[in-house]
Amino acid sequence: MTSKQNVVTAGDVPGRPARPVGYWERIDRIDGQTPPLTDHQRARLRTIFHQTIPRQEAA
């Protein structure tokens, strides 16, 4: 009673399990429904990812 799951193996990162068929199409569909980021949101994300000292070390 085992079921065979179709998986995509091409382009997967070594060490990670393969993605189910349709994975990236689903991600593209979800991403297409989201509103674009505002300038303020982009600035906050840029600040978070470009900090020289992580907040955990600074505390």
Which of the four pLDDT bands, split at 50, 70 and 90, describes residue 17? Answer: confident
Query: Residue 8 forms beta bridges with which residues?
Result: 19
The parent domain of residue 25 ranges over 7-58
* Residue type (1 letter), 26: R
Q: Is 2 within a domain?
A: no
* 7 compared with 42, residue with greater pLDDT: 42
How much is the pLDDT for 14? Answer: 72
The single residue listed with the structure tokens 């994300």 is 45
Q: Is 20 within a domain?
A: yes
Average pLDDT rounded to a whole number, residues 11-35: 84
Q: Is 50 within a domain?
A: yes
- Among the listed residues 32, 25, 33, 30, the one whose alpha carbon sits nearest the alpha carbon of residue 8: 25
Which of the four pLDDT bands, split at 50, 70 and 90, describes residue 26? Answer: very high
Q: Is 19 within a domain?
A: yes
How crowded is residue 6: how many other Cβ atoms within 10 Å of its Cβ?
Answer: 8
Domain count, the chain: 1
Q: Is 1 within a domain?
A: no
Average pLDDT rounded to a whole number, residues 21-43: 93
How much is the pLDDT for 19? Answer: 86
